[in-house]
Amino acid sequence: MSRSVRYTSSPLLASKTPVWRSKFVVAAVALGFMGLAARAAYIQVIGNAFFQRQGEVRFARTLELPAYRGRILDRNGLILASSVPVPSLWAIPDDVDRDPAKRRELARLLDMPLVELNKKLDSEDKSFVWVKRQIDESVARRVAELGIKGLYQRKEYRRQYPEGEAAAHVVGFTNVEDQGQEGIELAFNKALGGKPGSRRVIKDRLGQVVEDIGETLPPIDGQDLQLSIDSKVQFFAYQKLRESVLANKARAGSAVVLDAQSGEVLALANYPSFEPGLRQHLSGEQLRNRALTDTFEPGSTMKPITVGMALEAGRITPQTLIDTNPGYYTITGSTIHDVSNHGLLTVEGVIQKSSNIGASKIAFRMSPHEMWDTFTALGFGQKPQLAFPGVVSGRLRPYKSWRPIEQATMSYGYGLSASLFQMAHSYTAFAHDGEYIEATLLKSDAPAAGVRVFSSQTAAQVRKMLQMAASPGGTGPKAMTVGYSVGGKSGTAHKQEGRGYAANKYRAWFTGIAPVDKPRIIVAVMVDEPSAGRYFGGDVAAPVFSEVVQQTLRLMGVQPDLSVKPQVVAQRVEESV
């Protein structure tokens, strides 16, 4: 039987509660609600941007949509550089499995030290880290089979270079971010690279996309670029240059092939070279495009220019006699020598025999100002207007500071410096009927723009002298080739070391044109420090010139202008040093 509670008789319930206590409880509850409301208002209104950012930091991601990098093509549309999609590995360090066996296998597959892998996976950035970028598809599949939690794959683009070492110095290469680092890849990086797009998404902790937020910006792919380079000419020039450098135990070599009618660069080869697709080996002097970045005293290849300016000024004719007796010539205390005493020579004979004395005496028929004007008009002392990184200007001092001995030595290529490309480019004035034309590395269908330096008659007269120099009795008969007439000038010079010249170090080169009457190409070859016993340009560089000329003209479909029969090459006549 239950007993009813008598509230009025209970001492606890019957006690009188103070009014302030109930008011305090109500006020506390009200203040609590007001605090919650204020906090909610702050989060939703005043501090909304901050909390949204914090949420996005944890779950929202901006995914870059990579743009396809434009291809680099040769003049015939053959690919010199292109991009292919490849997987890259990334991870969320907080989520990655810590299974030692799986990590060891992953390190083995990625050919990466385990210590380096663990360092990446234990990164302070707990939300994202690159593990290895641009791996092979087969490796990516085997990594996926490991089933490592927190490890993901993403598509990127990797550059491929089908021509490899042969075209490396022209094309250049990109870094892992697909940004150009050398060559055409660097010079035209903006046009080739395009513009990446973006996609804003929310991801869960497993890295899976949950929702798209905001607008997706599609990538703008890069533009294709067509060069003036002919990949077949480039490969052949590289191959013959490489053979010469190795056979002559030389330090390096370069070759330039120009279209004499359009100014387009058909080949720009250097050895040693590099494999542009192997980034771990891309360092050191092997990256230098020596044909454009290295300068040297051009030596005897300047003599035709000296004769050309004197012919143009009317100071001489091809048959003007120049006395080179007794084989040496003293100017203000300094003496110039020829290899031997050539006696009385015509101007044609000065070029054919490569007489330093003859060139000096011809130079003295002009003023330093006249010589400087012609040198400058042919690009010496100026940076070539070529869209390529690292192009150098060479050195040509102001004419007002020339001493008589310097005016004389400049007539045969000492006291000024130029790159191999500048030497080849200067010969366009002879090959293009007296006009010095612009050179380009991009394919061009427009007529070459030029500046007249010599008359057509002067250019023809110099071409005849160049042909004599590259024939039996001249200094470069080994430049002769089957089926085509050639004209050119060899050069050999001691290398500069400090303030003087090295006794046993030389640069040997040959610059010339073909065919002589209607030139289609200009070829320049330089071999640095040949040390196998031969060092004259007519011995070392001229044979490379001969082979490159013959192959290039055949590829261009140029008809032979000589009867095709075995050529008898006379014993070399030693050229001047």
The residues carrying an active-site annotation are 300
- Rounded to the nearest 10 degrees, the angle between the axes of helix 542-555 and helix 231-247 is 160
Extract the tokens encoding 236: 């052949």
What tokens does 520 get?
A: 């289609």
Element (H, E) at 524: strand 521-528
What would the two tokens of residue 558 be? 């140029």
Backbone angles phi, psi at 547, to 5 degrees: -70, -40
Give the helix/strand (H/E) hosting 492: strand 487-497
Structure tokens of 483?
Answer: 């089926």
Q: Where are the alpha helices (DSSP H) in 495-571?
A: 537-540, 542-555
| Cα torsion 129, 132, 137, 138: sign | negative
42 phi/psi in degrees, rounded to 5: -65, -45
Local structure of residue 328 (DSSP, 8 states): E
Of 131, 134, 129, which is closest to residue 92 (Cα–Cα)? 129
Instruction: Give the number of other Cβ atoms within 10 Å of residue 41's Cβ.
Output: 12
Q: Where are the alpha helices (DSSP H) in 399-475?
A: 404-411, 420-426, 428-431, 456-469
What backbone torsions phi and psi does residue 91 show, to the nearest 5 degrees?
-145, 160
Tokens standing for residue 457: 């008659």
